[in-house]
Structure 1
Amino acid sequence: MTQPTLTPTLFENGIWRGYLQADTEPHVEVRYMGQALEGVFMTGTDGGWELSVPVPSTAIADGVHCFVIADANTSQKIGEFTIIAGASAADDLRTEIALLRGELDLLKRAFRRSQAPSD
């Protein structure tokens, strides 16, 4: 099975959308500030899936807000998107740090899961 490919398509009215090309329907989770978001859903399209992510109102504020999209079963990162508002610049170092924190959280969870005793 090949790795799913995510292409951002639209961010409008508080909904971020992307096109996910995959062989089978992937089970994804979107994490913001270390927590999985509710209301994320996918609909089948020609040759792939449309991913819709409702962005929480708390993330539409000044600062840098990073969202990490990962396979829910393996915690493997599929993609990410960032919302920057206020005085922050697009090339701001805080953007990269926030994204690294989100990815580190994914790695920690995957490591803990791999070290957990199996039944």
Structure 2
Amino acid sequence: MTFESHGVSAGCWTGTLQSDRRPASLSVTHRGAVVVQAALREAGPGVWAVSAGLPPSVIDNGVHSLLLVVGDSVLASLTLVAGTVAGDDLLAEVAQLRAELDLLKREFRRLATGG
């Protein structure tokens, strides 16, 4: 299952999803909480058009990271930057992303080794 993002326009995140079957649930999360369920429309054999209208709460001053999730799998991420963002905010966001990536890598390695 792969997702190709077409970006955000008029507050709606769009893209195409290639999958053998329609996913049961496709959602957008922000800070660990589901903020919207994405809409799916068949766009051809094994291709689905995806659209998710973003709520105003995630389009706000600062840096916001959104994840497109199906089940427990992250298909894509989207970073929104709005307003005046201090350099320290961006550095803090990068540090948080690095920490989350390190956690995921550790867990993946643990699961891969059967530990």
Tell me the TM-score normalized by structure 1.
0.68
Correspondence for 1:5 among 2, 6, 9: 2
- Structure with the larger strand share: 2
Correspondence for 2:14 among 4, 12, 17: 17
Larger radius of gyration: 2
SS at match of 1:38: strand
Task: Report if the CA contact (8 A) 2:12-2:52 is conserved.
Answer: yes
Amino acid at match of 1:28: L
Question: Which residue matches 2:41?
Answer: 43
Correspondence for 2:82 among 65, 81, 85: 85
Deviation for aligned residue 1:78 = 1.1
Deviation for aligned residue 1:64 = 0.6
How many percent identity over aligned positions?
Answer: 27
Structure 1, unaligned stretches of length 5 or more?
108-119
Amino acid at match of 1:42: L
Task: Report if the CA contact (8 A) 1:64-1:98 is conserved.
Answer: no
Task: Report if the CA contact (8 A) 1:66-1:99 is conserved.
Answer: no
Deviation for aligned residue 1:29 = 2.1
Question: Which residue matches 1:64?
Answer: 63
Task: Report if the CA contact (8 A) 1:32-1:66 is conserved.
Answer: yes
Aligned length: 98
Task: Write out the 4+ residue segments of structure 1 that deviate beyond 4 Å after TM superposition.
Answer: 97-101
Distance, in Å, in 1 between the alignment partners of 2:64 and 2:70 is 20
Pair 18,35 (structure 1): closer, same or farther in 2 beyond 3 Å: same
Pair 69,52 (structure 1): closer, same or farther in 2 beyond 3 Å: same
Amino acid at match of 2:58: A
